[in-house]
Structure 1
């Protein structure tokens, strides 16, 4: 017969995991709406992938709520129901993780064209999918929480290969992006944003899978379910965050600041002249003090508004560039012209 302490120690982590799962599902709903509203020109298969992930996340939430509702509400007081686990969460978690990892494997293939790395990622993803399905089958055959340690191997395969796949994806994308920096501030700022997003999204799922595995091996009370239940939502939110952040990659911080300054500025009708000053000096072979001549060229910048409705490129009031201070000589007309420094 189960004691109150064992029930609390088991369903406490389950309750926390379900709450985190539902919260992340709400974020997933918002991310999905933004994706279909903003990226209407994406490829059809990509839209179908996002829609499929949304359906899988919804089904996963239903499994998690049923996992908590059935033993505590419908079968309240039934010790056998409280001591048994559900298999649906594991299968859906592994399937969602595989879809997301295959998508990132495709992205690695497009960016790096490294077939070996893509094959390794696909192998690890397929292995974790098999491990997740095997864990579900094991839970069906051995549903009691106290006997979960009997199938440690299949759980290790599931979570370890999932963490390895996420780590390889992150490392491959970061290495390729850092290798292809252009040295230009505008493009490098965008690349740095993509690198930070890749590291954040990839390491979140990898660390969560590793912590889940460690807690499963160390604490047989079910503490690992805090990280196991919301794991699928972390995968889908990481993917949707990567897709929805593409709109901000084309703008850097400097370009945004420049556009803000332009929006705040008022139209200017007259612009100060840009002057080009050439310093000249007289021939050093002649006696007497050296003389300096200044040649000033004037270039007038006319507002674009002034040029509308005029056949002449500069508008009605446009005056071609001309010498405003022509060069003169203080000596007699027979003096030789000065030479440019």
Structure 2
């Protein structure tokens, strides 16, 4: 295999670093919002997972930035240019293993949520197995890059690349599809309940499919465009997408909880209910009112509580004094 063209190899790599650092900024903001909202209510294990991901993502961003410094800056300080084809930067070997150490816990976390929602372990077990296969493939790739630091021999890494990204993309696809299927079955025909389910489904599509598309793009580009670094564009962004996906799922509960715990907000208008002596919430949409019964609101609370079971306590009314 011929030595890579530096412009076609390192140029896409630099673009991937740009995406990585941009998504890291988004990640920091999401982490801050998470701890501002849920540090006192979520289970300790969930909080530790977020801290673990933040630490690894910080290390990952530092690695890719140092790689580009090693490639673009250090050669300018040398008195004579190096002989032979360019060598991979030392920290490139950390990319795959750090990514799978991030993606695997996220995929296992989502598998757990599917298990709670669907009350079945078959698909979650399959997702877990694929996640561990991806973990093995990414770890093997990092070992190979360390042992064989030669761009011209990257074709020898393709089995490990295929195992890592193929298993990861399939796991992400199963997570997205199973969540959508399970949530679709939870529809009750009640407006508030189905509204919550629609929002969760939309979030699932927005986040789950992004990681799937990027993993597939990374795999296809790595195998089809040999001798060039186009695969590094989605590759360097992949770990950040997994973490942002998880944090988006965690932080989205703020919106659902505001609706369920406080009917007297900008989206809901309170009207007296003489039959039950309670307050029925009536959502305002484009100036029109459509009645939502107390039973409908309680159904939405039950749906969200089940979806949120693993985080600690579910959303409750603001005057609730339940302990964590």
TM-score w.r.t. structure 2 length? 0.76
Please show how residues 1-341 of structure 1 align to structure 2 within 5 Å.
6-40=5-39, 41-76=41-76, 77-78=81-82, 82-85=86-89, 86-220=92-226, 221-250=228-257, 259=266
Q: How far does the alpha carbon of each residue in 1:296-316 deviate from its partner, in whole angstroms, 9 at most, with x for none?
A: xxxxxxxxxxxxxxxxxxxxx
Work out the CA distance in 1 between the residues paired with 2:268 and 2:173.
41
Work out the CA distance in 2 between the residues paired with 1:28 and 1:258.
29
Quick check: which has more Rg, 1 or 2?
1
CA separation of 1:121 and 1:262: change in aligned 2, threshold 3 A: closer
CA separation of 1:127 and 1:261: change in aligned 2, threshold 3 A: closer
Corresponding residue for residue 280 of structure 2: none
- Give the secondary structure class of the aligned counterpart of 1:56: helix
- Maintained 8 Å contact 2:172/2:212: yes
Q: Using the TM superposition, give the Cα deviation of residue 96 of structure 1 relative to its aligned residue in structure 2, in angstroms.
A: 0.5
Q: Using the TM superposition, give the Cα deviation of residue 80 of structure 1 relative to its aligned residue in structure 2, in angstroms.
A: 5.7
- Give the secondary structure class of the aligned counterpart of 2:5: helix
Q: How far does the alpha carbon of each residue in 1:129-167 deviate from its partner, in whole angstroms, 9 at most, with x for none?
A: 000000101111222222111121111000000000001
Q: Which has the higher contact order (CA 8 A, sep 6+)?
A: 2
Aligned residues: 262
Work out the CA distance in 1 between the residues paired with 2:182 and 2:6.
49
Alignment RMSD, CA only?
2.4
Corresponding residue for residue 291 of structure 1: none
- Give the secondary structure class of the aligned counterpart of 2:188: coil
Q: Using the TM superposition, give the Cα deviation of residue 182 of structure 1 relative to its aligned residue in structure 2, in angstroms.
A: 1.2
Give ranges in structure 1 of 5+ residues lacking alignment. 264-341
Higher helix share: 2
- Maintained 8 Å contact 1:71/1:82: no
- Give the secondary structure class of the aligned counterpart of 2:140: helix
Work out the CA distance in 2 between the residues paired with 1:150 and 1:81.
17
Corresponding residue for residue 319 of structure 1: none
Q: Using the TM superposition, give the Cα deviation of residue 247 of structure 1 relative to its aligned residue in structure 2, in angstroms.
A: 1.2
Give ranges in structure 2 of 5+ residues lacking alignment. 271-324
